[in-house]
């Protein structure tokens, strides 16, 4: 009986929402933004295929821009700012296939999970809404 109560407690208070994630990171501020991506445009057309990413650095999109990635089962978006470094002139990550590299410490982060082995903070994740077959909305 105690197992069922524990399970019920976890389901009620933890939830099952896939967009329920924490963006708290002491190195990176929280900015609100929304940016629409039209994947029929040449600069974003790679997103139509699994395991492809694009870097979006338009206006107020994220802190240092945003990496948007097609996982094959959906889309994820992460900030381009190094998550384990204070903001500096070297803290904008660069795209390297299915990973991104922080030039400050040469750490590689996976675009599938936003994680890097042995690092305290994952990449700052943003929400992605697929509006139709060719349009995405990335927002915080």
Q: How many domains does the chain have?
A: 1
pLDDT of 34-92, one tens digit each?
999 999 999 999 999 999 999 999 878 999 999 999 999 999 999 999 999 999 999 99
Q: Flag whether 96 is in a domain.
A: yes
Is the pLDDT higher at 11 or at 26? 26
The mean of the pLDDT values for the chain is: 88
CATH number of the domain bearing residue 61: 2.102.10.10
pLDDT of residue 20: 56
pLDDT of 11-25, one tens digit each?
434 444 445 556 789
Task: Enter the pTM of the model.
Answer: 0.84
> Which structural domain range is residue 75 located in?
23-139
Q: List all residues 6 or more positions away from 82 whose beta carbon is below 8 Å from its beta carbon.
A: 27, 90, 91, 92, 93, 102, 103, 104, 105, 107
Q: Flag whether 46 is in a domain.
A: yes
Q: How far apart are CA 113 and CA 8, in angstroms?
A: 28
């Amino acid at each position: 009986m105690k197992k069922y109560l524990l399970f019920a407690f976890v389901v009620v208070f933890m939830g099952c929402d896939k967009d329920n994630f924490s963006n708290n990171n002491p190195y990176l501020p929280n900015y609100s933004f929304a940016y629409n991506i039209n994947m029929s445009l040449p600069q974003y057309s790679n997103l139509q295929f699994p395991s492809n990413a694009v870097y979006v650095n338009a206006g107020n999109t994220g802190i240092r821009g945003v990496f948007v990635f097609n996982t094959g089962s959906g889309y994820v978006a992460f900030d381009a700012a190094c998550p384990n470094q204070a903001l500096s002139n070297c803290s904008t990550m660069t795209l390297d296939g299915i990973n991104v590299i922080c030039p400050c410490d040469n750490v590689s982060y996976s675009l599938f999970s936003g994680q890097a082995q042995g690092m305290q903070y994952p990449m700052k994740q943003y929400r992605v809404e697929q509006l139709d077959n060719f349009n995405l909305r990335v927002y915080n």
